[in-house]
Amino acid sequence: MSEENVILTCPHCGNKTLMKLLNKFEKDTRIPYGYEEAQFVDIFEVFECPVCKGFHLYYTNWSSEESYPENHDIYEDGEVLFPTSERVNLNRLPINIKNAYESALKVRNIDDTVCLLALRRTLEMVCKDKGAEKGSLYDKLKKLQNEGTLPPLMGDISKVIKDFGNMAAHGDDVTFDKYLVERMFSFTNKILEYVYILPKEMKKAQMELGRLSQEAKSKTTK
């Protein structure tokens, strides 16, 4: 269940800090399940960031039908509902890639050039995590594309992020505006979603489908 204060990454300033809980609402749903009752709880909480004073709406949920490991953090699978933005779920990423991505978030509204460099580094971390460690970043991305880790379009998107990151790293006389940075975040999110989050979501959906199929089969045999 939710605590009074929670450590989260602020969607406004990118700082990971102890948030102040301003308000909270829980929707409790009970559904008959065999001889018992299944419970599903949706939790909506409004937090204030002590650094920038911005606030955000965070959603979490839990179910009596799910098995959770000891010391499970309910916020690991949470989602920012407000402010609305295309954002990847950080808690579902490997810790080193999560840290690299958070570095980009922290300077998102401060330094566009440094932000692009951090996004490029995030790609480097993805390549290393997936076993592509030799050659230039382009070579690594090409390897992941050839192996099927990245589909063709994702490979092209990765190259765009790489190229803009190179321009930032080499000090080219180019102005990176906020719109461009937002596009680069959007592209990076799609890559991270495809590589790390979509497979987990698919596995979860398949498990749920299997459970429902087994339940339907048991009813027909009674």
> Tens digits of per-residue pLDDT, 143-179?
888 888 887 766 666 667 777 666 766 655 566 667 7
Angle of helix 112-129 versus helix 137-147 axis, rounded to 10: 50
Query: Do 33 and 139 have their domain in common?
Result: no
Range in 15-19, 171-175, 189-193 the model is least confident about: 171-175
**Taking Cα atoms as reference points, which of 49, 43, 113 lies closest to residue 83?**
49
Distance (Å, whole) CA 193 – CA 197: 5
What's the structural domain count of the chain? 2
pLDDT at 41: 93
Distance (Å, whole) CA 169 – CA 190: 23
- The answer to whether residues 45 and 12 touch, using CB atoms and an 8 Å cutoff, is no
Mean pLDDT score of the chain, rounded to an integer? Answer: 81
Q: Which domain holds residue 201?
A: 89-222
Query: Do 26 and 41 have their domain in common?
Result: yes
Query: Do 78 and 129 have their domain in common?
Result: no
Beta strands at 36-48 and 16-33: parallel, antiparallel or unpaired: antiparallel
- Tell me, yes or no, if the pTM score tops 0.75: no
pLDDT at 93: 86
Block residue for tokens 């937002």: 182
> Which of 85, 116, 134 corresponds to the end of one domain?
85
Tens-place pLDDT, residues 78-132: 888 888 765 677 778 888 998 888 888 888 777 888 888 888 889 889 999 999 8
> Which of 60, 85, 110 corresponds to the end of one domain?
85
